[in-house]
Structure 1
Amino acid sequence: MSLIINHNLMAMNAARNLAVSFGALAVSTRRLSSGLRVGLAADDAAGLAVRELMRADIASLNQGVRNANDAISLIQTADGALAVIDEKLIRMKELAEQAATGTYNSDQRLVIDSEYQAMASEITRIANATDFNGLALLNGNLSGTSHDGTGLQSTGKLKIHFGTANDSAEDYYYVQIDTATASALGLGTGAGATSEGYSVSTQSAAQNALEGINDAIVSKDNIRAKLGAIQNRLQNTISNLQIQSENLQAAESRISDVDVSTEMTEFVRNQILSQSAVAMLAQANALPRMALTLLGT
């Protein structure tokens, strides 16, 4: 290489290498301080796109777990109310049994029937008053066979959404709760005079009411059994969602997070290269002075 003074090519080369090493050192510093391998799109454009999709799915799955837990709370609320209704039905069966015997007169049966009708009214009140987050559970609002969520207030059976998309086979299912009012169970004056559980004011009516109350208990138990099955299903769904979220988080971490041991090795390497480049740049800047000796100065 010629000894020239207009251009210091060795200094230019050292400066370029210093810029490269210092830039790599800055990247290692950023990665180690943030914990992210992919902090900018320039780090890994394809990896960034995949990571953001994974993050969106992870957030959706975690919200799906909360949705399923909310649904379990809703089911437990309905089941608790049905347990209270069960107590009322047992009392009504007891009253019907009492009125069915011949040792009571008509006036006494009317007194028994007044309590019987009060129990029926209380069942209806409980069914109408039981709600979760403003959603009535036992009054028939969720007993429809079809779901319509196009309006501000959805109608029909309740849709529990927990997946990341909108596939009926993977991302949601429905909770349908039949009506649990006294009239729907065939009990009390609201059920109509043709219903077996209409009244216990006469011995014959009380005997018929025994069958009607049995049917009501079976209907109530069917509602509770369906709710219990859905609760178990939701609990299994939660376990599956948590496993999916955990595995997806691990995959996202492999793309996004920095391997500290590997990156620290790169950091030290780039640090040494930067220091070497600085030292060589200083030497290269001093080399043109050798020309002065040829000029006799």
Structure 2
Amino acid sequence: MSLVINHNLMAMNAARNLGVSYGNLETSTRRLSSGLRITQASDDAAGLAVRELMRADVSSLQQGIRNANDAISLIQTADGALGVIDEKLIRMKELAMQAATGTYNSDQRLIIDSEYQAMASEITRIANSTDFNGIYLLNGALSGSHDGSPLKATGKLKVHFGTGNDSSEDYYYIEINSATASSLGVGLAAGSGAGASISTQELAQQSLDVLNKAIISKDKIRANLGALQNRLENTVTVLEIQAENVQAAESRISDVDVASEMTEFVRNQILTQSAVSMLAQANSMPRMALSLIG
């Protein structure tokens, strides 16, 4: 190479290498400070697209877990109220047994029937007042076909936990039959037939079978809720595993390998320092031409 002063090609070459090394050093610094391998689309355009989809899935799965846990809380609320109704039905059967024996007179049976009716009224009150976040659980509002109206859905309650909208994978329904006294067939609200009253020995005897059926009906509701709760708990477990695996996959795409990147950082730091030194040397080379001039 000729010794020239019009162009300093060595300095230009050193400056270009310095720019490359400094850019790589800036990238390593950005990755190490953020903990992410992909901090902008130019780092890995395809990887960024995949990562964002995975992040959306993770967020959706985590919300699905919360949805399922909320449904478990709803079921536990309904089951707790049914447990109290269970106690009332047992007491009503005890009263019917008491009124069915011949050792009580009519006035005494009327007194027994007054407590019987009070228990029936309490069952209806509990069923009509048990709610979760404004959703009434035991008055029959959650029975029948689902009607997802814009303002207030009726019928079966939809529990959505999946990331899509497939009925076989992403959601299912909770259905709770009515547990009011009239639905169970006990108390005056049920009409004038068997189970309505125990004011006479005959009515008390007839009420025993009705109360047995009422207890069975209530037990069916509780058994169904118990099965749903177990299913939801299993769903939560699966969703947690799924979210963990998707998060791990997203991490492999998105997160920086600190050990590897630190190695690159030190390499780029050395190259940058070397380029700066060589640029300084290259800038001094044209001065050598002065020694040839006069």
**TM-score class, shorter:** over 0.9
Q: Secondary structure at the match of 2:197?
A: coil
User: 1:203 & 1:282 partners in 2: Cα distance?
Assistant: 114
Q: For residues 143 and 154 of structure 2, what CA distance do their matches in structure 1 show? A: 9
CA distance in 1, matches of 2:137, 2:158: 13
Query: Superposition pairs for residues 151-166 of structure 1, below 5 Å?
Result: 151-166=150-165
C-alpha separation between the residues in 1 aligned to 2:109 and 2:149?
51
- For the pair 1:58 / 2:32, whether they are aligned, the reply is no
In the alignment, what sits opposite 2:287?
Answer: 289
Cα distance in 2 between the residues matched to 1:96 and 1:153? 40
Is residue 174 of structure 2 the alignment partner of residue 168 of structure 1?
no
CA distance in 1, matches of 2:95, 2:274: 98
| Match status 1:41 vs 2:41 | yes
Deviations 1:12-51 (A, max 9, x none): 1100100000000000001011100000111001111111
State yes or no: 1:268 paired with 2:257: no
Aligned counterpart, 1:90: 90
Residue matched to 1:232: 230
**Using the alignment, how far apart are the partners of 1:167 and 1:215 within structure 2?**
38
Corresponding position: 1:179 with 2:172:
no
Q: Which string of whole-angstrom CA distances, capped at 9 and with x for unpartnered residues, describes residues 91-113 of structure 1?
A: 00011001111121111111111
Name the residue aligned to 1:121.
Answer: 121
Partner secondary structure for residue 159 of structure 1: strand
Matched to 2:185, the amino acid is G
Give every structure 1 segment of 4 or more consecutive aligned residues whose post-TM-superposition deviation is greater than 3 Å: none
Q: CA deviation at 1:148?
A: 2.0
Q: Percent identity?
A: 77
Q: The residue matched to 2:96 in structure 1 has which SS?
A: helix
**Structure 2 Cα separation of the partners of residues 255 and 265 of structure 1:** 19
2:108 aligned residue: 108
Aligned positions, number: 294
Unaligned runs of 5+ in 1: none
* Alignment of 1:190 onto 2:193: no
- Give distance in 1, aligned partners of 2:132 and 2:146: 18
DSSP 3-state at the match of 2:181: coil
Q: 2:225 is paired with a residue of what secondary structure?
A: helix
Partner of 2:22: 22
Q: Does residue 258 of the first structure (1) align with residue 237 of the second (2)?
A: no
Q: Give the secondary structure class of the aligned counterpart of 1:147.
A: coil
C-alpha deviations, 1:229-252, integer Å up to 9, x for none?
000000000000000000001000
Q: Structure 2: which 5+ residue stretches go unaligned?
A: none
Partner of residue 218, structure 1: 216
Instruction: Give, as a single letter, the amino acid of the residue that structure 1 aligns with 2:271.
Output: L
Paired position in structure 1 for 2:199: 201
Instruction: Report deviation, 1:155.
Output: 1.1
The 3-state SS of whatever aligns with 1:99 is: helix
- Aligned to 2:41, the other structure's residue is in SS state coil
- Equivalent residue in structure 2 for 1:248, among 243, 246, 249: 246
Q: Give deviations 1:72-108, integer Å, cap 9, x for gaps.
A: 1110000000000000000000110011111211111
Across the aligned residues of Structure 1 and Structure 2, the Cα RMSD in angstroms comes to 0.8
Partner residue in 2 for 1:70: 70
Q: Residue type matched to 1:176 in 2?
A: E
SS, match of residue 268 in structure 1? helix
Q: CA deviation at 1:159?
A: 0.5
Secondary structure, in 3 states, of the residue corresponding to 1:183? helix
Evaluate the alpha carbon distance shift between residue 10 and residue 150 of structure 1 in structure 2; reply closer, same or farther with a 3 A threshold. farther
Letter of the structure 1 residue corresponding to residue 146 of structure 2: H
Shift, 1:61, TM fit: 0.6
Secondary structure of 2:172 counterpart: strand
Once the two structures are TM-superposed, the CA of residue 263 in structure 1 deviates from its matched residue by 0.1
TM-score normalised according to structure 2 size: 0.99
For structure 1, which segment, 279-288 or 150-159, has the greater mean C-alpha deviation from structure 2 after superposition? Answer: 150-159
CA distance in 1, matches of 2:137, 2:40: 49
